[in-house]
């Protein structure tokens, strides 16, 4: 007798973003583990050089996470109570948390209206009305890997400052003479504007190497420096490294290599946090960076496949991936199904789950989350972000996928969508 087996048993599960760990990665980690030096040392220094070269910037500094580095940068710039940091409401909580950790005020900006002016990103015109005498930093986010900072935001900030002034309350702020452009590039390593990698456009750009990101060191991150010439990138890099290690003037490696009677001695220049990168992480990162061009190609090919599958399908609004000047890093395949309401979108994710396809939502606008609602951020002030979120679904996009997997995801999304429409109560039209 023919017993139809359930799809669950015959099909391989499709994860959302499982890490891609090849044999070279495992060998590199083993080499470091056997070397006798496992925390910040030669591997981290080499990874920093390679990242700076990859992004075409003066310098790069690695750390234990995006969050650790971004926080250190706010401390370096002297951001504290009374200061405002402009950021989108459409982002991950880390973007706002680092500001709250400093006692500063996150000014959450809704996505530009009407929606889809620049994918899920803020535009300069959306940011501009929120600039104030208290603005110390603006922190846009390259959502899904789509570059935000097109049209020279630092020059625009300089112009704004010329007419509005800038009240510097730290030495570093005085040197810059305007608000800092700090890019949340957690998603956008390898994305580009005019052929130039993301990392070189903003004053500072912070990448995340968390397990689900395009390039991973399990946990980790890096900042690339592209500050005006009034700053010495080597000195700033040193400062940021110190701030990631308790503000210690020498890390373990420099004490080890120092000579003379006082080789052991160090100062603490500021009460820093502890978020340095280990050489084990850096070894993973170096292997992944050497391979990254090919990884990106594969991501682009998979996302192209999604684009082709959803093109000309009425309800699908495809993510922004390329224009005349920009190229995404294809971190997320963030699809919007514009005829679904939020509960129907949730049903669709559940239907995918039932056939072992993992999907996610990027992002829940921050005012929907308790921590920010309690601080007075109101979803009502963010109608565009809510509209973008309600029908968004992020589909699997990672290096273990093959075309047939993508095709299965596309077919399942379309089938589930049809089921959802067929289940609507006759006469009602929620969308």
Ligand X SMILES: *Cc1c(COP(=O)(O)O)cnc(C)c1O
Residues that bind ligand X (CB under 6 A): 65-67, 91-92, 94-95, 141, 184, 186-187, 208, 210, 221
Residue number, 91 or 197, with CB nearest to ligand X: 91
- Rounded to the nearest 5 percent, the helix, strand and coil shares of the chain are 40, 15, 45
CB 290 within 8 A of CB 394: no
- Report the residue number, 208 or 412, with the smaller CB distance to ligand X: 208
- 363 Cβ contact partners less than 8 Å away, ≥ 6 residues apart: 90, 91, 92, 143, 389
Q: Which is nearer to ligand X, 173 or 188 (CB)?
A: 188
Quote the tokens at residue 335.
């699809």
Provide, rounded to whole angstroms, the least separation between the CB of residue 188 and ligand X: 9
Residue number with the smallest Cβ distance to ligand X: 66
Report the alpha-carbon distance of residue 89 to residue 108 in Å, rounded: 5
Nearer residue to ligand X within complex by CB, 120 or 153: 120
Shortest Å distance, C-beta 379 to ligand X: 19
Count of CB atoms situated within 10 Å of the CB of 262: 8
The CA distance from 20 to 94, in Å, is 24
Shortest separation between residue 119's beta carbon and ligand X, angstroms: 13
Taking residue 130's Cβ as centre, other Cβ atoms within 10 Å add up to 16
Residue 324: what are its φ and ψ, rounded to 5°? -60, -30
- CA 229, CA 235: separation in Å to the nearest integer? 12
- The CA dihedral of 351, 356, 357, 358, to the nearest 10 degrees, is 100
Nearest approach, Cβ of 79 to ligand X (angstroms)? Answer: 17
**To the nearest whole angstrom, how small is the minimum distance from the Cβ of residue 232 to ligand X?**
27
Q: Find the shortest distance in angstroms from Cβ 163 to ligand X.
A: 31
Q: Which is nearer to ligand X, 187 or 408 (CB)?
A: 187
Q: Which residue has the tokens 């009460």?
A: 271
What is the closest distance, in whole angstroms, from the C-beta atom of residue 223 to ligand X in the complex?
Answer: 11
Nearest to 144 by CA among 326, 325, 401: 326
- The b/e string for 183-219 (b: 16+ C-beta within 10 A; e otherwise) is bbbbbbbbbbbeeebbbbbbbbbbbbbbeebbbbbeb
**Which of 210/417 has CB closer to ligand X?**
210
Nearer to ligand X (CB atom), residue 276 or residue 351: 276
Q: Looking at beta carbons only, is 186 or 395 nearer to ligand X?
A: 186
CB of 321 to ligand X, least distance (A): 18
Peptide bond into 255 cis (omega under 30): no
β-partners of residue 208 are: 221
């Amino acid at each position: 007798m023919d017993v139809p087996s359930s799809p669950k048993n015959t099909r391989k599960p499709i994860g959302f973003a499982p890490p891609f760990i090849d044999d070279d990665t495992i060998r590199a980690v083993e080499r470091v583990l056997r070397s006798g030096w496992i925390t910040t040392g030669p591997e981290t220094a080499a990874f920093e050089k390679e990242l700076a070269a990859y992004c075409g910037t003066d310098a790069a500094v690695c750390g234990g996470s995006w969050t650790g580095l971004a926080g250190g940068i706010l401390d370096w710039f002297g951001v504290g109570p009374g200061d405002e940091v402009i950021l989108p409401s459409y982002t991950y909580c880390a973007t706002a948390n680092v500001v709250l950790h400093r006692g500063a005020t996150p000014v959450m900006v809704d996505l530009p209206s009407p929606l889809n002016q620049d994918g899920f990103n803020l535009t300069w015109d959306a940011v501009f009305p929120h600039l104030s005498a208290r603005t110390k930093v603006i922190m846009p986010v390259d959502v899904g890997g789509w570059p935000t900072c097109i049209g020279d935001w630092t020059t625009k900030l300089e112009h704004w400052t010329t007419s509005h002034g800038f009240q510097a309350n730290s030495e570093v702020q005085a040197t810059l003479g305007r608000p800092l452009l700090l890019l949340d590039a957690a998603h956008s390593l390898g994305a580009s504007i005019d052929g130039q990698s993301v990392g070189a456009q903003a004053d500072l750009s912070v990448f995340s190497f968390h397990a689900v990101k395009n390039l991973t060191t399990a946990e980790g991150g890096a900042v690339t420096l592209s500050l005006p010439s009034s700053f010495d990138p080597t000195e700033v890099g040193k400062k940021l490294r110190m701030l990631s290690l308790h503000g210690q003037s020498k890390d373990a490696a420099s004490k080890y290599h120092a000579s003379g009677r006082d080789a052991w001695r160090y100062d603490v220049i500021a009460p820093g946090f502890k978020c340095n990168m280990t050489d084990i992480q850096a070894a993973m990162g170096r292997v992944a960076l050497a391979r990254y061009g090919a990884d990106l190609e594969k991501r682009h090919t998979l996302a192209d496949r999604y684009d082709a599958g959803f093109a000309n399908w009425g309800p699908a609004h495809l993510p922004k991936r390329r224009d005349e000047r920009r190229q995404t890093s294809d971190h997320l395949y963030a699809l919007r199904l514009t005829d679904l309401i939020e509960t129907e979108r949730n049903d669709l994710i559940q239907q995918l789950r039932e056939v072992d396809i993992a999907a996610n939502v990027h992002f829940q606008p921050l005012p929907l989350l308790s921590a920010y609602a309690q601080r007075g951020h109101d979803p009502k002030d963010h109608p565009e972000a809510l509209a973008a979120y309600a029908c968004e679904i992020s589909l699997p996009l990672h290096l273990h996928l093959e075309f047939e997997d993508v095709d299965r995801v596309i077919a399942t999304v379309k089938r589930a969508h049809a089921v959802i429409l067929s289940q609507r109560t006759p006469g009602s039209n929620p969308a």
